[in-house]
Amino acid sequence: MTLLLLLGTSAIAAIVLAFVGDRKYAHEINIAGSAATFVASVFLAVEVYWNGPMLAVEDFFFVDAFNVYLAVLTAFVSTTTAIFSRRYMKYERSHGRVGHKSMRFYHAMFQLFIFAMLLALLTNNVGVLWISMELATLSTVLLVSLYRTPSAIEAAWKYFILCGVGIALALFGTVLLYFASEKVFGEGSQGLLWTNLSASAGQLEPTVLSLAFIFLMVGYGTKVGLVPLHNWLPDAHSEGPTPISAVLSGLLLNVALYALVRCKVIVDGATHSNKSGYIMMAFGLLSIIVAAVSMLRQKDIKRMFAYSSIEHMGIATFAFGLGGPVATFGALLHMLVHSITKSAIFFAAGTASQMNSTQDMSGIRGLVKGNPLVGWGLMLGTVAIAGVPPFGVFTSEFLILTAAMKDAPYLAPIFLLGLAIAFAALFKRVMPMVFGEPAPYQVSIKASNVPVIAHLVIMLVLGLYMPVFLNDWFHKAVELLR
Amino acid sequence: MDVNFAAQINGILAALILLTSFGLLVQKRVYGLLHIFAWQGLFLSISTAVVGYSTGLHHLYISALLTLALKVFALPYILYVLIHKLHIHKEVEDMVNVPTTMLIGIALVIFSYDLMSPVRELSSLVTRSTLAVALSTVMLGLLMMITRKKAITQIVGFLSLENGLFFAATSATYGMPLVVELGVALDILIAAFIFGIFFFQIRTTFDSLDLKEMEKLKEEE
Amino acid sequence: MTGQYYPILLEALQVIIVLLGAPLLVGWVRMVKCWTQGRRSAGLLQPLRDISKFLVKDTVLAHNASWIFTATPYVVFGATLVAGAIIPVVSADLPLAATADIIALVAIFAVARFFTALAGLDVGTAFGGMGTSREMMVSSLAEPAVLMSVFTVSLVSHSTSLSYMVHDITTVSFVLRPSLAFALLAFVLIAIAETGRIPVDNPSTHLELTMIHEAMILEYSGRHLALIEWASMMKLFLFASLGISLFMPWGIAGIDDPGMIPVALVALTAKLALLGVGLVLVETGLSKMRIFRVAEFLGMAFLLATLGMLSYFILE
pLDDT at residue C51 above 70? Answer: yes
Subunits next to C (3 or more Cβ pairs <8 Å) are B
With contact defined as beta carbons under 8 Å apart, do B26 and B101 qualify?
yes
CA neighbours within 13 Å on the CB side: how many for A471? 7
Q: What is the pTM of this model?
A: 0.89
As a whole number of angstroms, the distance between CA A60 and CA A51 comes to 18
In Å, how far is B180's CA from the nearest CA of chain A?
Answer: 6
What is the full DSSP assignment across A159-211?
Answer: HHHHHHHHHHHHHHHHHHHHHHHHHHH-SSGGGGBHHHHHHTGGGS-HHHHHH
Task: List C-alpha distances in Å: A222 to A137, A273, B103, B141.
Answer: 11, 24, 27, 17
As a whole number of angstroms, the distance between CA A264 and CA A267 comes to 5
Determine the pLDDT at residue B221. 40
Q: Do chains A and C touch, with touching meaning 3 or more CB–CB pairs less than 8 Å apart?
A: no
What is the full DSSP assignment across A255-266?
Answer: HHHHHHHHHHHH
Which residues of B lie inside 8 Å of C (Cβ-Cβ)? Answer: 5, 8-9, 11-12, 14-16, 18-19, 22, 98-99, 102, 106, 109-110, 113, 129-130, 132-133
B102/C303 CB distance under 8 A: yes
A428, with CB counted inside 10 A (0-12, 13-18, 19+), is exposed
C176/B18 CB distance under 8 A: no
Q: How far is CA A210 from the centre of its chain?
A: 26
Determine the pLDDT at residue B29. 86
User: Residue C106 carries which side chain, given as an amino acid letter?
Assistant: V
CA-angle at A419, arms to A416 and A422, nearest 5°: 150
Count the helices and strands in chain C (H runs, E runs). Answer: 11, 0
In Å, how far is B5's CA from the nearest CA of chain A?
Answer: 23
Question: pLDDT (tens digit, 9 = 90+) per residue, B6-56?
Answer: 888 888 899 999 999 999 988 888 888 999 999 999 999 999 999 888 888
As a whole number of angstroms, the distance between CA A444 and CA A355 comes to 6
Pairing label, strands A61-63, A54-56: antiparallel
What is the pLDDT of chain B when averaged over all its residues?
Answer: 86
Which residue in A134, A175, A189 is closest to B172 by CB distance? Answer: A175
Highest mean pLDDT among A96-105, B36-45, C277-286: B36-45
In Å, how far is C170's CA from the nearest CA of chain B?
Answer: 19
Count the helices and strands in chain B (H runs, E runs). Answer: 8, 0
Query: Comparing B177 with A232, which gets the higher pLDDT?
Result: A232
Task: List C-alpha distances in Å: C259 to A266, B181, C10, C91, C255.
Answer: 68, 59, 12, 10, 11
pLDDT at residue B107 above 50? Answer: yes
pLDDT at residue A301 above 90? Answer: yes
Map out the domains of chain C as residue ranges.
6-315
What ipTM, to 2 d.p.? 0.92
Mutate to test the interface with C, among B8, B125, B136 (most CBs of C within 10 A): B8
Q: How many CB atoms lie within 10 A of CB A468?
A: 8
Which residue in C176, C313, C316 is closest to B9 by CB distance? Answer: C176
Question: pLDDT (tens digit, 9 = 90+) per residue, C140-194?
Answer: 889 899 999 989 989 988 888 888 888 888 877 777 788 888 999 999 999 998 8
C178/B16 CB distance under 8 A: yes
As a whole number of angstroms, the distance between CA A169 and CA B168 comes to 11
Residue C208 CB contacts under 8 Å (≥ 6 apart), including other chains: C127, C215
pLDDT at residue A462 above 80? Answer: yes
Which of residues 197 through 216 in chain B touch A, CB cutoff 8 A?
197-198, 201-202, 205-206, 211, 213-216
Q: Return the closest-CA partner of residue A336 out of A392, A390, A284, A377.
A: A392
Determine the pLDDT at residue B8. 85
As a whole number of angstroms, the distance between CA A126 and CA C231 comes to 67
Question: pLDDT (tens digit, 9 = 90+) per residue, A273-296?
Answer: 888 999 999 999 999 999 999 999
Which of residues 6 through 65 in chain B touch A, CB cutoff 8 A?
57
Residue B151 near chain A (CB below 8 Å): yes
A272, with CB counted inside 10 A (0-12, 13-18, 19+), is exposed
Q: What is the mean pLDDT of residues A174-184?
A: 89
Query: Dihedral angle at the C-alpha atoms of A354, A360, A361, A367, nearest 10 degrees?
Result: -20
Query: Comparing C247 with A81, which gets the higher pLDDT?
Result: A81
**Residue A54 host element (H or E):** strand A54-56
Residue B208 CB contacts under 8 Å (≥ 6 apart), including other chains: none
Helices A100-122 and A2-20: crossing angle, nearest 10°? 170
As a whole number of angstroms, the distance between CA A288 and CA A314 comes to 5
Q: Return the closest-CA partner of residue B26 out of B76, B93, B91, B79.
A: B93
Determine the pLDDT at residue C2. 55
Determine the pLDDT at residue C210. 76
- State yes or no: cis peptide before C199, omega within 30 of 0: yes
Counting one residue from A and one from B, how many pairs have CB atoms under 8 Å apart? 131
User: Residue B37 carries which side chain, given as an amino acid letter?
Assistant: F
Determine the pLDDT at residue C258. 75
Chain C hits for B130, Cβ within 8 Å = 315
For B44-66, b where at least 16 C-beta lie within 10 A, e where not — what string? bbbbbbbbbbbbeeebbeebbeb
- Compare all CA atoms of chain C with the CA of B112 and give the residue at the minimum distance: C314
Task: List C-alpha distances in Å: A61 to A194, A229, A478, B91, B103.
Answer: 10, 30, 20, 49, 46
What is the pLDDT of chain A when averaged over all its residues?
Answer: 91
Q: Torsion-angle region of residue C254: left (phi > 0), alpha (psi -120 to 50) or beta?
A: beta
Q: Return the closest-CA partner of residue C311 out of C206, C181, C217.
A: C181
As a whole number of angstroms, the distance between CA A410 and CA A419 comes to 16
As a whole number of angstroms, the distance between CA B192 and CA B194 comes to 5
Q: What is the mean pLDDT of residues C250-270?
A: 83
pLDDT band at C3 (very low <50, low <70, confident <90, very high): low
Q: What is the mean pLDDT of residues B130-150?
A: 90
**Residue B146 host element (H or E):** helix B131-147
With contact defined as beta carbons under 8 Å apart, do A82 and A114 qualify?
no
Residue A321 CB contacts under 8 Å (≥ 6 apart), including other chains: A276, A277, A278, A279, A280, A281, A282, A283, A284
The dihedral sign for the CA sequence A279, A280, A283, A284 = negative
As a whole number of angstroms, the distance between CA C305 and CA A139 comes to 44
Residue A186 near chain B (CB below 8 Å): no
Greatest pairwise CA separation for chain B in angstroms: 64
CA-angle at A270, arms to A268 and A271, nearest 5°: 65
Q: Return the closest-CA partner of residue A138 out of A107, A161, A154.
A: A161
C287, with CB counted inside 10 A (0-12, 13-18, 19+), is exposed
As a whole number of angstroms, the distance between CA A241 and CA A346 comes to 10
With contact defined as beta carbons under 8 Å apart, do A130 and A167 qualify?
yes
Question: Would you give the DSSP letter of residue A62?
Answer: E
With contact defined as beta carbons under 8 Å apart, do C69 and C60 qualify?
no
In Å, how far is A439's CA from the nearest CA of chain B?
Answer: 25
pLDDT band at A39 (very low <50, low <70, confident <90, very high): very high
Share of chain B above pLDDT 90, in %: 36
Map out the domains of chain B as residue ranges.
3-213
Question: pLDDT (tens digit, 9 = 90+) per residue, B42-84?
Answer: 999 999 999 888 888 888 899 999 999 999 999 999 999 988 8
pLDDT at residue C1 above 70? Answer: no
Subunits next to A (3 or more Cβ pairs <8 Å) are B
Q: How far is CA C28 from the centre of its chain?
A: 16
With contact defined as beta carbons under 8 Å apart, do B116 and B132 qualify?
yes
As a whole number of angstroms, the distance between CA A292 and CA C193 comes to 58
Chain B hits for A191, Cβ within 8 Å = 177
Query: Comparing C248 with A80, which gets the higher pLDDT?
Result: A80
- Compare all CA atoms of chain B with the CA of A143 and give the residue at the minimum distance: B194
C311/B98 CB distance under 8 A: no
- State yes or no: cis peptide before C23, omega within 30 of 0: no
User: DSSP 3-state assignment of C43?
Assistant: coil
Determine the pLDDT at residue C291. 81
In Å, how far is C183's CA from the nearest CA of chain B?
Answer: 12
Chain A hits for B138, Cβ within 8 Å = 168-169, 172
Q: What is the mean pLDDT of residues B123-145?
A: 88
A150/B205 CB distance under 8 A: yes
User: DSSP 3-state assignment of A56?
Assistant: strand
Q: What is the mean pLDDT of residues B158-173?
A: 90
C307/B19 CB distance under 8 A: yes
Determine the pLDDT at residue B1. 59
A378, with CB counted inside 10 A (0-12, 13-18, 19+), is buried
Q: Return the closest-CA partner of residue A441 out of A376, A363, A351, A362.
A: A363
Mutate to test the interface with A, among B187, B189, B207 (most CBs of A within 10 A): B187
Q: Return the closest-CA partner of residue C86 out of C166, C184, C191.
A: C166
A189/B219 CB distance under 8 A: no
Q: Return the closest-CA partner of residue A476 out of A48, A46, A74, A66.
A: A66
Determine the pLDDT at residue B75. 92
Which residue in A168, A172, A189 is closest to B177 by CB distance? Answer: A189
C313/B9 CB distance under 8 A: no
Question: pLDDT (tens digit, 9 = 90+) per residue, A417-445?
Answer: 999 999 999 999 999 999 888 888 888 88
Q: Return the closest-CA partner of residue A167 out of A234, A116, A92.
A: A116
C296/B19 CB distance under 8 A: no
C178/B14 CB distance under 8 A: yes
Determine the pLDDT at residue B217. 67
Chain C hits for B54, Cβ within 8 Å = none
Question: pLDDT (tens digit, 9 = 90+) per residue, A339-366?
Answer: 999 999 999 999 999 999 889 998 898 8
pLDDT at residue B219 above 70? Answer: no
pLDDT at residue A112 above 60? Answer: yes
